[in-house]
Amino acid sequence: MTHIKQKNGIFILVIILLTILAFSIPILFPDFSKAPNDRFVKFNFQNVLIFLMADLILIGIPAWLHRVYVKDYKRIKNIWFFVLFGTISGVLLGENFNLIMIIPYAILMLIYAFLYKKFVWWKVASTTYLAGLIIENIMNRAPLQASTLIWVPFFIYPYFLTKIFENKKKAIFMIKDSKYPLVSSIILGGIGIYLGIILPGKFSPPLIFLAFILPFLIKILYNLIRR
């Protein structure tokens, strides 16, 4: 047991050091980064806090549903569900459903699906911010920005949803037990999509997604208060 803890400690330390190194590249070599574009989000306290809250919601709801109804933290088996859901949700939330980005996202999700199939989930999850830094700051040569944090949930929540999908009997019970949030989610999400069609540019995909998840946020808060 001590040997395993030592190996895990070394692994975490290596990931932290690599993350710091990737984070430091735009700072140490400013000429390496491209000029900010119109989608640039400054790396300041306010923006970081907003993206951390988004991370908490995007990871927290699937993780909570998984913990309450499934509680299966084994390696995934169905890599294609992971890839499909991760790609669609990533392109929708991260790229405003830019269809050109489907193939790059599918490749990234396929890589992470194989990692979740091979390794313990928390080890894979610990690499997600590092992966975001490599994608944005090294491969795309983007300046350091707060929006890189959104890669963290993009690579984590498909794991929990895949495990729910794999445990079909428990998933069916979850759906029955959560029928009111589900119905509310469909209604609010449908209204969001309708507003997005009639008000293009004013009702963005992230707001539509928020409409979908709002009933589940209320359910989680209600359960926490009731305890």
Residue 19 structure tokens: 């993350």
pLDDT of 204 higher than 90 = no
Entry pTM: 0.87
Buried b (16+ CB within 10 A) or exposed e, 1-17: eeeeeeeeeeeeeebee
Q: Which residues are CB-contacts of 131 (< 8 A; sequence separation ≥ 6)?
A: 108, 112, 151, 155
Judge whether 175 and 182 are in contact, CB under 8 Å.
Answer: yes
Q: Give the residue-averaged pLDDT of 201-205.
A: 62
Query: Where do runs of H (alpha helix) occur along 167-227?
Result: 168-177, 179-198, 205-226
Nearest CA to 122 among 68, 73, 60? 73
Domain boundaries, the chain: 2-34+45-177
Residue-wise pLDDT tens digits, 89-111: 888 888 877 888 999 999 999 99
**By mean pLDDT, which of 15-24, 36-45, 187-196, 209-218 is the weakest?**
187-196
From first CA to last CA, the distance across the chain in angstroms is 35
**By mean pLDDT, which of 58-72, 74-88, 190-204, 212-226 is the weakest?**
190-204
Other beta carbons less than 10 A from residue 76's beta carbon: 23
Judge whether 59 and 156 are in contact, CB under 8 Å.
Answer: yes
